[in-house]
Amino acid sequence: MVLCPVIGKLQHKHVVLASASPRRQEILSNAGLRFEVVPSRFKEKLRKASFATPYAYAMETAKQKALEKDLRAPDVVIGADTIVVVGAVILEKPVDKQDAYRMLSRLNGKEHSVFTGVAIVHCCSKDGRLDTEVSEFYEETTVKFSELSEELLWEYINSGEPMDKAGGYGIQAQGGMLVEYVHGDFLNVVGFPLNHFCKELARLYYPPRPEDLHRVRHASIPAVDTFENLSDMEAGGSDPGQSAEGGRGGQQADGDRSQAPGAPDAALNGADGRPPLPAGLLELMDGFKASKVLFTACKLKLFDMLKDQGPLKAVDIARKLNACAGGTEWLLDVCVALGLLEKTHRGYSNTEVATLHLASDGEHSLQGLAEYNDAHVWGVFTRLGPAVQEGADQTRGALGVMEEEGHLSQSREMTLQFMRAMHSLSKLTAHHVATAFDLSRFTSACDLGGCTGILARELAQEYPRLQVTVFDLPEVTELSGGFQRGGRQTERIRFVPGDFFKDNLPEADLYVLSRILQDWPDDKLHKLLSRISSSCKPGGGLLVAEAAAEEKERASRRPRLRALSAGQPRSPDEHRWLLQRHGFQDVRVARAGDLLHVVLGTRAVP
Ligand SMILES: C[S@@+](CC[C@H](N)C(=O)[O-])C[C@H]1O[C@@H](n2cnc3c(N)ncnc32)[C@H](O)[C@@H]1O
């Protein structure tokens, strides 16, 4: 049987399925997999808002479930998490009948996506230590519900079926009657994407042979992607633990698919030999349009209006914006398609993600970042062609943000826009940075380039003894007042204007550099670190926070794109080496949430 080799690779391993779902168990045992069921105790309580995409949330939950096991060292643990996403809202299992009703009403008559995140954890014991390697992926299926009456919805809810199912329905049972069509893997909606799982096993256990590698280079399609064609003999199968390349980790940490857009489809050519629609590629070509729609809606303060006054009809929105009714409706409908707005018979309203992140006054608002991307980063990227040809430094060349040391060659309005963008980003990361290490031994800290003081605030809140100085260029500290919210810890925060390349640094026993080093070339970076090292007393500390840039992340989509305008990120090891070179010892590295890594060193006696 041609399908056997992939599943057969797990035949002699102790496999644990970290899931109580009878549907997942049935799918896997029907496929011939032998496994032990050890349901995970991991509570599904990750903060959804902290994930850039719903599938990133599902993959992280799957991973946490698989890693949570009290590992009496099985060889492999499989974790999975299925979520239903409508608009930008994630639906999990309903807690009661009313909740089930809310979910099913949201799905009624509409298309939604079902995502399953899957984590395959390989475990091995070395010197009494348990090492784990995680491979993760997700699958998306589109499902459309028919228009259903209230009566039918309640009849279904009263059947009891919705209660333990993501989105409040089970497609394999009575819930199947609600569904008009399904695009994609049906089993994914049931709870486990078996086809993708087998492909992942094939990728893990059958790394490409050297003679196949030219195919990888030319077509960006892994040589072994159609697991159906495998046999142990011809594929020269190996254990993923033994493969140097092509083994685990092809799925990148932030959920980017490892193949080129359209590649998985291209591998599954139609019977007539013509390539299928390269949907991923077309989406990529349209990516800039989607960004511009988002930026335009933010600029028009659409999300603010709908947060306060929604739902509103298109004509009323157009009137309030003093804009053309037809053009406004066009923009609104695109926002609905992008999951930023919802449309009902009462009009348009924000989705949860829009209210949380795109209205300007929210604690978690990213409006400043959208505004900055629109006003500046967009322009940088329109000059990408010449920059590639001439090797120009994108940010400096195109924007002239920092012409000389310590001078922002930009208008007050541009400085404010830049500060709003930093403020938005910092709100996402400051808590993770402040708590990545225990900093309670320090009584004074100086945040160099601390901008609007978000990190200073978080540090003061977390460590009640700490006095914090925010040190930044005069044109920045002058405007920082507009970003302060008040509160008791602000008494322990002060803003000092200055240039960290020229002026004396304020005294402190902890110096902080958050997202500073990546902006500077090596000569400037050494100058700054050497100045900090001279100011820091023995026993004092230096905390550096920078964009997460472990090797596999450096190759993934988001950091790669960012590097085009913000410079190549340095890895944790490079930062460790830099601190050691400048007289800091006991250098430790930690992860600070999804976006940053943090490095802490202690000033040695010179
Ligand atoms: C990328 S932002 C990082 C802001 C903040 N630390 C954060 O993590 O969000 C860089 C900051 O460094 C400041 N900066 C740039 N050059 C500086 C200099 N020579 N002296 C002091 N601050 C400087 C900028 O004004 C800006 O606030």
The model's pLDDT over 4-20, given as tens digits with 9 standing for 90+, comes to: 567 888 888 889 999 88
Q: What is the pLDDT confidence band of residue 571, given thresholds at 50, 70 and 90?
A: confident
* pLDDT of 463 higher than 80: yes
* Average pLDDT value for residue range 582-598: 90
* pLDDT of 208 higher than 60: no
What is the structure's pLDDT at 252?
A: 34
* pLDDT of 472 higher than 90: yes
Lowest average pLDDT, out of 27-36, 231-240, 441-450, 549-558, goes to 231-240
Residue range 281-294, pLDDT digits in tens = 888 898 999 999 99
Lowest average pLDDT, out of 300-309, 415-424, 542-551, goes to 542-551
C-beta 403 within 6 A of ligand 1: no
* Average pLDDT value for residue range 518-536: 92
List C-alpha distances in Å: 304 to 1, 169, 281, 325, 360. 59, 34, 33, 19, 6
Scanning the structure block, which residue is given the tokens 């002239």? 400
For the chain, give the percent of residues with pLDDT over 70: 80
Q: How far apart are CA 396 and CA 359, in angstroms?
A: 30
Residue range 323-338, pLDDT digits in tens = 888 899 999 999 999 9
Better-scored residue on pLDDT, 211 or 124: 124
Out of 419, 422, 523, 532, give the residue to mutate to test ligand 1, the one with the largest number of ligand atoms within 8 Å of its CB. 422
* pLDDT of 248 higher than 60: no
Ligand 1 centroid from CA 232, angstroms: 56
What is the structure's pLDDT at 398?
A: 41
User: Buried (b) or exposed (e) across 444-468, using 16+ Cβ within 10 A?
Assistant: bbbbbbbbbbbbbbbbbbbbeebbb
State the DSSP code for 227.
Answer: G
* Average pLDDT value for residue range 17-31: 91
Query: What token pair was written down for 127?
Result: 């010197």
Q: What is the pLDDT confidence band of residue 3, given thresholds at 50, 70 and 90?
A: low
Better-scored residue on pLDDT, 575 or 48: 575
* Average pLDDT value for residue range 234-250: 37
* pLDDT of 211 higher than 60: no
What is the structure's pLDDT at 9?
A: 80
448: nearest Cα among 581, 539, 544, 537? 544
Residue range 383-423, pLDDT digits in tens = 888 777 776 555 554 443 444 444 445 688 888 989 999 99
- Among 299-308, 376-385, 544-553, the range with the most confident prediction by mean pLDDT is 299-308
Q: What is the pLDDT confidence band of residue 257, given thresholds at 50, 70 and 90?
A: very low
What is the structure's pLDDT at 5?
A: 67
* pLDDT of 97 higher than 90: yes
Residue range 100-158, pLDDT digits in tens = 999 999 999 999 999 999 999 888 776 666 777 888 999 999 999 999 999 999 999 99
Q: How far apart are CA 201 and CA 5, in angstroms?
A: 10
**Which residue in 70, 75, 81, 96 is the catalytic one?**
81
What domains are defined for the chain? 7-205 (3.90.950.10), 285-369 (1.10.10.10), 413-603 (3.40.50.150)
Residue range 415-437, pLDDT digits in tens = 898 999 999 989 989 999 999 99
Atom of ligand 1 nearest to the CA of 447: 6
What is the structure's pLDDT at 215?
A: 37
Query: What token pair was written down for 571?
Result: 């890895």
Q: How far apart are CA 551 and CA 493, in angstroms?
A: 37
Better-scored residue on pLDDT, 278 or 231: 278
Sequence-ordered alpha helix ranges (H) in 442-571? 454-462, 474-477, 522-535, 551-554, 557-566
Spatial neighbors of 270 by CB under 8 A, at least 6 apart, are: 276
Residue type at 212 in one-letter notation:
D
Out of 500, 502, 520, 546, give the residue to mutate to test ligand 1, the one with the largest number of ligand atoms within 8 Å of its CB. 500
Residue range 479-499, pLDDT digits in tens = 998 888 776 667 899 999 999
DSSP letters spanning 317-365? HHHHHT--HHHHHHHHHHHHHTTSEEEETTEEEE-HHHHHHTSTTSTT-
Q: What is the pTM of this model?
A: 0.56
For the four alpha carbons of 326, 366, 340 and 301, in that order, the dihedral sign comes to negative
C-beta 500 within 6 A of ligand 1: yes
Half-sphere exposure of 151 (CA within 13 A, CB side): 0
536: nearest Cα among 438, 432, 448, 431? 448
What is the structure's pLDDT at 277?
A: 77
* pLDDT of 520 higher than 60: yes
C-beta 406 within 6 A of ligand 1: yes
Ligand 1 centroid from CA 270, angstroms: 54
Look at residue 132 and give its three-state secondary structure. strand
Half-sphere exposure of 527 (CA within 13 A, CB side): 11
* pLDDT of 459 higher than 80: yes
Annotated catalytic residue 304: no
